[in-house]
Each structure stands twice: as C-alpha cells, then as structure tokens.
Amino acid sequence: DGGITQSPKYLFRKEGQNVTLSCEQNLNHDAMYWYRQDPGQGLRLIYYSQIVNDFQKGDIAEGYSVSREKKESFPLTVTSAQKNPTAFYLCASSMASGRQETQYFGPGTRLLVL
C-alpha cells in the first residue's frame, strides 16, 4: 500500500522536553512538508524539503527543527523553544514542487502538553 504514515497518533510533551514526530512516505515523492493545524484555522507551513539533505523554513518555523537524510523520511522535532506546541501536526508529500504539484497528507499527529 502506497501512502504517508505518521507516528505516533497522539504524543504528550512535558515542559522543557523535545519531542520528535515521524513522517514516512513510500510514494517516491521528492518533496515533503510539515504543517501545523489549530482549531478553526487553516494549515500553516512549518518546514518543507524539496530534495534530500535540503530544507527551507515555512511561515512558522521558530521552535521547530527538521532533517531530511532519506527521501522517504522527514522527521519534525518540536523543541522546548516552542512555547505553544499543542496542535495537530500534518505531514504531506508531493512528486515535485512545481506548477502542477499536488500534495497528499498523512493521518496526522496530535501533540498535547502535560
């Protein structure tokens, strides 16, 4: 089955703790994205990567970090510097960034602060 998997489904973070959200895709897509979704709001871009070993900041990158060591994987770390991390985090991927790019989403990870 081709698709995007995110784990865990729910994640709890303690004060001052870094946590890492996993995103894996077996669609052979070049580009991968991380979005944050808050209640009643649209999706806001955190980071994106168009190719292995390269990534760019999105609109709300502060307090987050990413890596792209493999084409299939794009983990997101929520650092202790992110003061309001409670949100629904969505990973997406696309064949390539360009005019007819279409992004497909994973099932999401809900992060809660203890």
Partner 1 sequence: GQQLNQSPQSMFIQEGEDVSMNCTSSSIFNTWLWYKQDPGEGPVLLIALYKAGELTSNGRLTAQFGITRKDSFLNISASIPSDVGIYFCAGRPGTASKLTFGTGTRLQVTL
Q: What is the DSSP letter of 106?
A: -
Q: Which of residues 51-80 bind partner 1 (CB under 8 A)?
A: 58-59
Q: Out of 44, 61, 67, 72, which residue is the one contacting partner 1 (CB under 8 A)?
A: 44
What are the residues facing 87 on neighbouring strands? 111
Of 11-19, 41-49, 61-69, 70-78, which part binds partner 1 (CB under 8 A)?
41-49
**103 part of the interface to partner 1, by CB under 8 A:** yes
d(CA 44, CA 82): 15
Say which residues have a Cβ less than 8 Å from residue 44's Cβ, sequence separation at least 6. 35, 36, 37, 38, 58, 59, 60
Q: What are phi and psi of 66, to 5 degrees?
A: -140, 170
Distance CA 39, CA 42 (A): 8
Tell whether residue 105 is a contact of partner 1 (CB under 8 A): yes
Q: Select from 13, 30, 43, 67 the one that contacts partner 1 (CB under 8 A).
A: 43
- Find the binder of partner 1 among 1, 83, 100, 114 (CB under 8 A): 100
- Enumerate binding residues for partner 1 (CB under 8 A): 4, 6, 35, 40-45, 48, 58-59, 88, 90, 92, 97-108, 110
